[in-house]
Structure 1
Amino acid sequence: MGKKHGVVTALLAASMLALAACSGGGGGSSDGKTTLGIMWWGADERHEATKKALDLYSQQHEGVSFKPEYMAWDAYWQKLPTLAASKTIPDVLQMDAAYLQEYVSRGQLEDLTDIDLNGIVDPNVIENLKINGKLYGIPLSQNAQGIAFNKADLEQYGIPLPHKDWTYDEFFQWAKDARAKLPEGKYPIGDTSTWDGFNYYQTANGKPPIMSDGGKTFTLDKDLFMKFYQTYEQFRKDKVVPPADLAASFLENDPQADPMASGTVMTRGATTGSVSALEQLMPGKVGVVNMPVGPAGGGWAQSTIFLSVSANSKHKEEAKNFVKWFITDPDAGRTLGLTRGIPINPVIYQSLEPNLEEKDKLGKEIYDLSVDQALPFYSPAPGFSEWVDTYKKEMDAVTFGQQSIEDAYNKINKLGQDLAAKAGG
């Protein structure tokens, strides 16, 4: 394609995009032209990169333009249920592992199993992502859950750095030993009151996830629950973790209020995607390690962000072509960079690697450290959002000394059993 022709096509694509952006509703077509509606969440950097990638697709595929919608995470998940209810979800939408099952169960997402991802996505990753044997989202990036630590402070106070594949027993012992070497007002680890923190522990110890079988099976192991939270109760007494009122004031990635960037807590949870923000707050001071493991392994390492196609799309084939292009086209790969994490396609990642900054390499390190011991990513089952909120509320009451661990267990367990019975019924 000549340079002049390319410029004209780009201008045409941009003007079509502007026109499409002005007209309400989903995608459409007229005069042999196709407009694909597409919706995603993220930060400005992701928005700008994605818009450039859409322009690129329009240049390469004459007659295809986009109607993009993009917003922050909270706004996205407030808007999507409304669109789902009226069957007006755009042709292509960004989907998250925490919600994928829910939208599949509602019949809102198209089966994408026929898209050939051979040599692009690890077959194990695809198998892990299938729901009832079908693929409903094209994975965009590799992600993993690990722990970030303040390398500089730990070295300063003579505390050994966390090591790969540390067990939960080693993690708890490390926290106690570190407490003895840290000055007043600094803490080795943070407290925990969310369901996933305990779910990591339960599954690492070889028990089933708290929610399985689409929420029809609920397993909250009482012995493990008591042991885990009694450990943290003792840690609060011994100042191994911050007091409840201080913990409640933490705000991740805020320069003053982030538990780790503020210099208050030596460690905190971090994912492949999130650790870069922490490294920017405290350059050169961040180290990473995988989640503590048990007999069954620990943590997770897989894709958690996808492009899905609406089951109600009138342009399913074009939408499928686009989502495959999104993870395979070299120019798209360069344009999108790491705005959705480490690209799922190894060829694209290798092309980006020479120019990566330290903050990006840390994300890859979390993934590489985690992948061999990783368990599946367990998201909340459909209908369990009330339970997730209740869990945090009841465990926060425990951290503030307002109720016993056993009372919290009884309330959380009863609600979970009730929801599972409802799902089964």
Structure 2
Amino acid sequence: MALAAMIADWLRRPGSSPPSENLLDRKAADFAALVKRLATPLGDAEIRRLRSEAAGAIATGRFAEADKSLAEAELHAIGGSTDLSALPLERRLLIGENRADRAALSFLRTTAEAYREAAARYGEASALIGLAAIDRSRDAALDQAKAMARISEDFGGREGYDAAIATLRRLLEGLDSLSDTVAFAGAQEALATALDRLAGLSGDSKLLNEALVHCRAGLEDLRHDEAPALWRALKLRFGRLAVNLGISQKDDNLLEEAVATYATALAVWKRSDDEARWLEAEHMISRARATLGGRRSDLALLERAFNGLNRVSQAIDRSRDPMRWAELQNQMGGVLASMGERYSEPVVIEEAIAAFAAALEEYRQERAPLLWAQTRANQAEAMLQLARRNKDKPLAQQALAQLMAATEAARQAANGTVVAADLQKRLGAAGALATKLIAG
């Protein structure tokens, strides 16, 4: 009943689509966190009774009744005082914690307005707690920023991210990396996350570089044993940003930093603890190694990259996630093609061509025209590489025709301008090689 009440507002929106699996997972986590908080003994017998009533109402989806019970608990804690600042610190802490519970309750509703109310209540809780428990006050301020970010994450637009970023910058002004290490790192992680997601929404790549800076700052003084989950989250985000920026900016130093970052995370992380994120880390470190290995003609790095990609591929259920499976086949094909240039036998290049063919089974032109064009081009270049090795003129002609078709398909695809331009450059180089081979 609670889940039905949480998504009711979502479904009432004009033209609403069913909530995504990710949204449902987030709301389930929000619900579980609040239930856990309400189960923690707090205040006197009357406050505990009211909080228990609120928990029961939440379980059956009666959110308005739950908020009424928590409001009564808050009034009981205030005890008629008209100057909250004059209350004992422990009483202010109690009131602030109850206000944070009301914020979490608002957050169960799936409307942007409810999220804004949650953010406002978290801000009030932070102010109420204040010096009574500075760490809890900071936690509430961090929750306020995260609630703002979720407005954009769940409902679109950049309003929430912009508000969260401004709030987190203000929070960081009062934190020191050495004396407030965990709080400082947590704010840096939240800020990096908001900047990263805003970059994805706006297309502003400068925000990615800024997010990387904040990840690095958060990790500077944070030890794994101080906050393992936060340390790992920072490592994973830093690594992913460093890999993507290192590839796009052709920055080998960033790629090396990414490899080192992922290596330290994987060294203290069992795959069974969180297999999905472990596989993500293995995938990204392999991409970094593949790029470095290709640029440096480093066979050892390429072999490690292929083995890592293969491990991830074997763990992916193709029927459940066909596009990710295809992505891995395409990447393994690229690594094999780079390795094939360094082996005297052609078998590795043949394996690369087969890997690209496997990827194309899912990257069908009608489903993903740009991915189809890029993978067909990758396969054509491997075919040309094999043709040069075997002095096979028909294969060279076939490869060139395939690369031309891929370039034309990208040119005709929606949003294919950048991909088409890249393939056109590759076509020019391949054309010169194929012409020389065919003429010879």
TM over 0.5: no
The one of the two structures with greater contact order (alpha-carbon pairs below 8 A, sep at least 6) is 1
Q: Which structure shows the higher strand fraction?
A: 1
Q: Report which of the two has the higher share of helix.
A: 2
